[in-house]
Amino acid sequence: MANSVVLEPAQLPRKLRTLAQCVAASAVLALLTCFGFVLQVNLLTIGLLYLLLVVAAASLFGFWQASLISLLAVACLDYFFTQPLFHFYMTDPQEMVALGAFEITTIVISRLSAKELRSSRRAVAHRAEMEQLYELSRSSLLLDLRQPQGPQLAVLIHRIFNARAVALFDVNLSRQDRMGDWDAGEEDLAKECYLRDASQDDASNQTWQRILRAGPGSVGALVVRGKLSSLVVDALASLAAIAMDRHKWFDKEERTETAKTGEQLRATVMDALAHEFKTPLTAVQTASSGLLELGGLTEPQRDLVTLIDGEAVRLNKLCTQLLKAAKLEAKQVGLDTADVRVADLVYDVLAGHPVEAGRNTVNVAVDDPSLTVRADRELLAMILAQYIDNARKYSTTGSLIEIAARASHTEVLFSVHNFGSMIRIEDRERIFERFYRSQELKDAVPGTGIGLSVARKAAEAHHGHVWVISDDKEGTTFFLSLPMDARRML
């Protein structure tokens, strides 16, 4: 089979266009030559006309087309307008000067024209890219934030920028989305880019890899294959990172709102039940106490009635805590503030909530016996009682429980310290949420997860704060800080 030259589809129109330009310029040259010869135009005039034609060819067509026309123009000058006519003699210096002038003009004009053409094309391409980026930024604002952003962004980038292939890796969702044609072995290209934590460009196959950064960290990676500039890909990566970051925060906010709604519903139900339980519990407690007072019970009967009475008291206390928490949450508790002597309060709380004999020893350290704080005595006693009860339940048998209070210039700091179960870092804030209990301890020690949440609300009502620190070696310490002059929260 004979070898044949096959032209690429893009090459064929370009060659035809160049040929057509040369033919058109040659035709104009022929007309000028005919016009000049018939009218007997002098050499200077026809030379200027030829020069204008060379300038026009260089401006409109390019260097090679203008060079061809300049050679043909010098040949026409020599053949038709210089003596002897109808002969080619390139001996006259004027002809050499004309040829040189035509060529210099061709080079200068073609270069200026090419530069202007490139600038114009760059401007047009830049404008098109800006329009595409604007369309993408506008469309990204309309994305459904309840759905993953990867598939939506991949479709937008593929459509707007006419990319051959797009891949996005979202680290928050641990998923990779692809669009377009990818070769075998490139299924995880975006994920590999993220794990490598480095952007990369491959101009040979027009593949651009970018890390998607939002704030101090990265949210994923973008890989685009297509005829794009590096600056456009950088802008694409920024827009994709913003969209993914918006989705992450929207998802967090929605989960928080859902949890808050669920918590409110649960709290409402529990508060309603607490109200309903109050009356029958009071009746049960009254009846059990009455039976104990009347006497005449056998030993097993007395034990059972004593158990009923104790559990009724505990349930009644739980209902009181729930109702108190509801009022504090709704800011319906009016603080009955007065100057409270701290040392007296601590000893009164210990008297009302004694630690089991033989289980723990208690040490009270109040720096100033005359130390006072302006607060609601009942609520402050409730916070301390909760702290002491927690220390008693979670401390190691035989260990020391330390209760301390000291003053600074602006606040009074209470602390209850014990040695026992450690509280994990991730639980140290959450244990003050209503109904929350640490996973490691909720089955080991009975509880409801209400007491600490009430303590926090009571502290906030005084413009105070509660927190805890915990360590295997140093033990666990619950803190309460109150302003020296606590006022009702407005």
CA-wise closest residue to 97 among 56, 44, 57: 44
Alpha-carbon span 344 to 460, nearest angstrom: 23
| Token pair belonging to 452 | 């600490």
DSSP string, 62-105: -HHHHHHHHHHHHHHIIIIISSSTTS--TT-HHHHHHHHHHHHH
End-to-end CA distance of the chain: 97
pLDDT at 416: 93
CB 81 within 8 A of CB 94: no
Alpha-carbon span 24 to 410, nearest angstrom: 94
- Tokens 């033919």 -> residue: 23
Alpha-carbon span 27 to 57, nearest angstrom: 12
- CA angle 224/225/227 to nearest 5° reads 110
Beta strands across the sheet bearing 400-407:
361-366, 400-407, 411-418, 475-483, 465-471
**Exposed e or buried b for every residue in 212-241, given b needs 16+ CB within 10 A?**
bebeeebbbbbbbbbebeeebbebbbbbbb
Q: Which residues share a beta bridge with 471? A: 475
pLDDT digit string (tens) for the chain, length 490 residues? 444 444 444 455 777 888 888 888 888 888 988 888 888 887 778 777 877 887 787 777 777 777 787 778 777 877 787 777 777 665 556 656 665 666 676 667 667 766 776 777 777 777 888 888 888 888 888 888 888 888 899 899 988 888 889 999 998 888 889 888 888 888 888 888 988 888 888 888 889 899 998 877 888 999 999 888 888 888 888 888 888 888 888 888 887 776 666 556 555 555 555 555 666 767 777 777 777 777 777 888 777 878 887 777 777 766 666 666 655 555 555 667 888 899 999 998 888 777 666 677 888 998 888 888 888 888 888 889 888 888 888 888 888 889 999 988 888 999 999 998 888 888 888 888 877 777 666 555 666 677 788 888 888 888 899 999 998 888 999 999 998 765 433 3
CB 472 within 8 A of CB 422: yes
pLDDT at 478: 93
Q: Which helix (H) or strand (E) holds 272?
A: helix 230-294
CB 180 within 8 A of CB 158: yes
| Token pair belonging to 157 | 């980038």
Q: Collapsing DSSP states into helix, strand and coil, what is residue 297?
A: coil
CB burial of residue 185 (10 Å; 0-12, 13-18, 19+): exposed
Query: DSSP code of 304?
Result: H
Query: DSSP code of 9?
Result: T
Alpha-carbon span 79 to 96, nearest angstrom: 14
Can you list the domains of the chain with their CATH numbers? 11-128 (no CATH), 143-332 (3.30.450), 337-483 (3.30.565.10)
- Tokens 């109200």 -> residue: 275
